[in-house]
Amino acid sequence: MIRFLTVVLIICAFVAGPILAQPTLKSVALPDQTNGRLEHILRRGALIVGVKTDYPPWGMLDAQGRIIGLEPDLARALADRMGVDLELVAVTASNRLSRVNQGVVDVVIATMGDTVTRRGQAGLLEPSYYSSGVVAYGPIDRNYQSWEELRGLPVCMTQGSYYNRTLEETYGVDGKYFPANREAKMALSFGRCVGWAFDDTALVQRVLANPETNYSVMEDRILVTPWAIGVAIGERDAPLGRFVSDMIGEWHATGYLLALERKWNIGESAYLQALNAAWSQTGPEGTPSYCNMRQGALPPDCLGAPPFPPVAETGAPPPWVADLEDATGVDLTVFYDAYSRGRLIRGLGLTLTLSAVAIIGALVVGLGLGVMDASLRGRGLWARMLLLPQKALVTLARMTPPILQMYIVFFGLGGVLSQSSLITPGAFTTAALILSLYAGSTNAVLIAHALEQERRLNPEKGVWTLLPGAFQRAFDGLVAACVNIVKAAGMASAIALAELVSTVNLIVSEGGDVSTFMNGLLVFYFLLVLGVLWLFRRARRWVVGTGP
Amino acid sequence: MIEVLYDHTGYLARGFATNLLISILSMGFGTVLGTVLGWLRARRVSGLGPLSHFGTNVCRNVPSFVLLFYMASMIPSEVEFGGTIMAVPLWIKATLALTFPVIGFTSDQSKGFFEQRRAGVSGAGEIFTIAWLQYFLIIIMASATASVIGADEIVGRANIVISQNESAQFLLVTYLYVSLWFLVTGLILSGIVKGLTRAR
């Protein structure tokens, strides 16, 4: 018996020997001395992490509306190690950097590509924890297989993705920008673009999860980039950044990330396997690990792929731009980049055109519906019947928020129309129509009311002869409604019209100076409205020869 | 489709309560501040009169939609109060953004009110109330834009409900259902305005 037990023990020692001989992985602990954001988190008793909710299975909502996925699991692991509660906040590609820099979230784990440009905008941590490239997703019958085939074609894009600019500048696609994946996908299915350019990780999973749909992903995966966890600018080398970096290293070393891939049915990726292999190696001279962060710079195979290189900007700003920034904080560098300048000029042009079209539309709609009201009012049953649709239209247009009207027409009605192979209105047409109707219905009420008052003074005159007097009477109200429509034109950004508000948000999401752009936008609108008021006063003087 | 919407009615209703809260608070703050500006303008208080005129111009001319993004990016997301860290929710930022146009509007209306009252014109109060209620309707409609900065109101919640089902029909029905909430509120407010107009 004793001999048997001895044999068993010897066998056990042989089997266990190599395992025990491996370096024991020491769990990352919180530093003794905390300051900055980490101290803030510990005092608050909660870690706030920005994650995606539209990127299954990395970040998504369950049936109860809770945020779950691979990245929320990583967030949970961070909070547990800190010994604090976890709060997850949904972020998008376009707002994740600003959210972490504003302090809305402490950490972003939101499928963020690591780029040299972003490293200058926030604290992007090493090592990377995932990687993806960009592919196009589109209807199977079109079957685009390379980016060259998409040159010059409209492609839906999600605002804030690192590859958007390269796809437009180098691959020549005509980008249609949407605030989030949901809108980009909807716009694709409603035929507003030929494909949706997005991360291969998300799109491959999408095709696998919905094999019955008629969509496929192209083979041509380009611009492959590692993913980085982000903290606020300045926190990268502070205790929070160092702690999270150590945790990422631990996740690679223990195979936790690979385990999460299995848990979420993604399948082990070669990228994470290579990182796991590097991080589980022993160091050359008895160091606990080959990838030892405390030994200075990490070997490249511990970091993952290098960050996406910066886009070459055209034109260097003159020295006074830097002086101005030092003196006032106003950063005009973006205006010296031809690509951004071009977008701003196009955005400005679209805002001015949309405002002009909406003002004319609102006056035409107001005139038509107002005259209809004044002509038919008090003319018996048939006239009342004819007035019913007019009243319904005016009530609906005035009492439905214009942003909701745009969603309804652009995505809802547009979607239903596209499924029935009818022509669907574009973003500009939709915005111009909705804004004209919204302000036009207010104008209709004003004109009808003014015509009624004119008629009381001149009962013998016809509606058309009373019109100039009515216009005079309703002038201030009409101007107010038209000014409101100019102010509301920015809402068209919600349906991917690249007007000024949309362009400014896009540039800010790509690292443009928030304060310069936001203050600039306010000043621009202040002057635009003053200009519109001045034009109306000129027009009044020109038409009637008098005026205030 | 209808059952899904029925199940989410409570969730959407709580979102709409946020819309009403944003609207009521911005009307409240805006009315108080706007009335002060209007009074200063009507009284032509030396020095302060032109300043309040400029303040009114700024509030009137700057779009609330742009102010939403402005507040979202320029106001800190947490404040420390007596050693406690408190989050500044996005609906408060939306309320602030919508307060500005209300200040501009009330300043103009109350200036007229104070001038009419001084001139002995009767009914100045009713004119002010009716115009104020009509503007309240505009602000309720504008509160729907708070979703663009991520405020947890009805349109934002509708977008979450829609994200669980990708059909165009479901999207259309959900948005129409949300519109109905605004429409009913608008009709109630218009009813009150009509009642007041008749009472005059």
Question: What pLDDT digit, counting tens, does each position of A473-514 carry?
Answer: 888 889 988 998 999 999 998 887 889 998 998 888 777 888
Mean pLDDT of chain B: 89
pLDDT digits (tens, 9 = 90+) for A174-183: 988 887 888 8
Indicate yes or no: CB of A491 within 8 angstroms of CB of B179.
no
**d(Cα B181, Cα B16) in Å, to the nearest integer?**
8
Q: CB distance A408–B58 less than 8 Å?
A: no
**One domain, residues A352 and A443:** yes
Tell me if A312 is assigned to some domain.
Answer: no
Residue contact B168–A412, C-beta within 8 A: yes
- Residues of B with Cβ-Cβ distance to A54 under 8 angstroms: 163
Looking at the complex, report in whole angstroms how far the Cα of residue A306 sits from the nearest Cα belonging to chain B.
30
- Under an 8 A CB cutoff, do B62 and A522 touch? yes
Does residue A108 lie within any of the structural domains? yes
Q: pLDDT at residue A133 above 50?
A: yes
Domain limit, last residue, from A207, A222, A237: A222
Q: How many domains does chain B have?
A: 1
Q: Is A335 in contact with A359 (CB distance < 8 Å)?
A: no
Return the CATH number at A444.
1.10.3720.10
Outline where A211-299 has alpha helix (H). Answer: 239-254, 256-263, 270-279
Order of strands, sheet of A59-61, starting from the edge strand that comes earlier in the sequence? A54-55, A59-61, A67-68
| A179 in the same domain as A119 | no
Do residues A167 and A155 lie in contact, with contact meaning Cβ atoms separated by under 8 Å?
Answer: yes
Last residue of a domain, one of A193, A222, A251: A222
The average pLDDT across A91-99 equals 85
**CA distance, residue B154 to nearest chain A CA (Å):** 11
Q: Which residues pair with A50 in a beta bridge?
A: A89, A108
Same domain, A520 and A431: yes
- On whether both A166 and A292 belong to a single domain, the answer is no
Q: Are residues A396 and A261 in the same domain?
A: no
Residue A24 lies in a domain: no
Distance from CA of B110 to the nearest CA of A (A): 17
Coil, helix or strand at residue A46: strand
Whether A2 is in a domain gets the answer: no
A518 and A395 in a common domain: yes
Residue A123 shares a structural domain with residue A181: no
Residues A389 and A507 in one domain: yes
* Tens of pLDDT, residues B80-137: 787 787 888 899 999 999 999 999 999 999 998 888 888 887 777 887 888 899 899 9
In a domain, A16, yes or no: no
Residue A312, classed as helix, strand or coil, is coil
- What's the mean pLDDT in B21-46? 93
Q: Is any Cβ of chain B less than 8 angstroms from the Cβ of A104?
A: yes
Domain count, chain A: 3
Cα separation, A370 vs A384, whole angstroms: 14
Pairing of strands A174-178, A215-217: unpaired
- Beta-carbon separation of A518 and B69 below 8 A: yes
3-state helix/strand/coil string of B46-104:
CCHHHHHHHHHHHHHHCCHHHHHHHHHHHCCCEEEECCEEEECCHHHHHHHHHHHHHHH
Q: How far apart are CA B179 and CA A408, in angstroms?
A: 9
User: Are A166 and A42 in a shared domain?
Assistant: no
Q: Is A235 helix (H, G, I), strand (E, B) or coil?
A: coil
The two three-digit tokens of residue A340, written as one number: 């951004």
Query: Same domain, yes or no, for A252 and A342?
Result: no
Judge: A411–B171 Cβ closer than 8 Å, yes or no: yes
Q: Which of A9-18, A438-447, B77-86 is predicted with the least confidence, judged by mean pLDDT?
A: A9-18
* Rounded Cα–Cα distance for residues A146 and A152 (Å): 13
Top residue of A54, A60, A212, A400 to mutate, by most chain B CBs within 10 Å, is A400
Query: In angstroms, what separates the C-alpha of B76 from chain A's closest C-alpha?
Result: 6
Closest among B91, B109, B87, B110 to B99, alpha carbons compared = B91
In-domain check, residue A315: no
Confidence of residue A19 (pLDDT cuts 50, 70, 90): very low
Reported as a single tens digit per residue, the pLDDT across A207-220 is: 988 887 889 999 89
pLDDT at position A135 over 90: yes
Kindly state the percentage of chain A with pLDDT values over 70: 91
B150 in contact with A, Cβ within 8 Å: yes
* In contact, B66 and A490? CB cutoff 8 Å: yes
Task: Name the one residue in this structure whose structure tokens are 């939709």.
Answer: A430
A189 touches chain B (CB under 8 A): yes
- Do the Cβ atoms of A403 and B148 come within 8 Å? yes
Tell me the residue range of the domain where B20 lies.
2-199
Rounded Cα distance between A330 and A325, Å, is 5
A391: contact with B, CB 8 A cutoff: no
Average pLDDT of the residues in A349-358: 96
Q: What is the ipTM of this complex?
A: 0.90
Work out the angle between the directed axes of helices A338-376 and A463-488 (0-180°, nearest 10): 150
Does residue A324 form part of some domain? no
Tokens of residue A425, six digits: 């209105």
Pairwise CB contact (< 8 Å): A399 & B137: yes
d(CA B200, CA B192): 13
Q: Supply the mean pLDDT for chain A.
A: 86
pLDDT on residue A24: 41
Q: Are residues A508 and A535 in the same domain?
A: yes
User: Which of A37-41, A159-163, A355-359 is predicted least confidently?
Assistant: A159-163
Strands A195-199 and A130-139: antiparallel
Tell me if B143 sits within 8 A of B22, measured CB to CB. Answer: yes
For residues B174-195, average pLDDT: 93
Residue B148 with chain A: CB contacts under 8 Å = 179, 403, 493-494
- What is the interface size between A and B, counted as CB pairs within 8 Å? 143
Q: Is A501 on the interface with B (CB under 8 A)?
A: yes
A98: left (phi over 0), alpha (psi -120 to 50) or beta: alpha
Kindly report the nearest CA distance between residue B45 and chain A, in angstroms. 23
The enclosing domain of A165 has a CATH number of 3.40.190.10
Option in A54, A399, A526 nearest B183 (CB): A399
Give the closest residue to B150 by CA, choosing from B99, B199, B91, B65.
Answer: B91
In this prediction, residue B125 carries a pLDDT of 81
Contact B141 A521 (CB under 8 A): no
The CATH code of the domain that includes B72 is 1.10.3720.10
Give bridge partners of residue A86 from the DSSP assignment: A47
Q: Which of A61, A404, A484 has the CB atom closest to B175's CB atom?
A: A404
Q: Locate all alpha helices (DSSP H) within A307-380, ordered by sequence.
A: 319-328, 338-376
| Domain match, A85 and A206 both | no
The one-letter amino acid at A468: P
The answer to whether the beta carbons of residues A489 and A499 sit under 8 Å apart is yes
Q: Is residue A328 part of a domain?
A: no
Locate B125 and state its tokens: 């109060």
Residue ranges of B 29-48 with Cβ closer than 8 A to chain A: none
Which residues from chain A sit within 8 angstroms of residue B66, using beta carbons?
A: 490, 501, 521-522, 525
Residue of B nearest to A410 (CA): B172
Q: Does A137 touch chain B (CB under 8 A)?
A: no
pLDDT, one tens digit per residue, over A259-285 is: 999 999 998 999 999 999 999 887 666
| Residues A424, A410 contacting (CB under 8 angstroms) | no
Q: Which of A505, A484, A486, A483 is nearest to A494 (CA)?
A: A505
Which residue among B61, B171, B182 places its CB closest to the CB of A412? B171
Residue A121's domain comprises 36-128+228-303
Phi, psi angle pair for A540, to nearest 5° = -65, -45
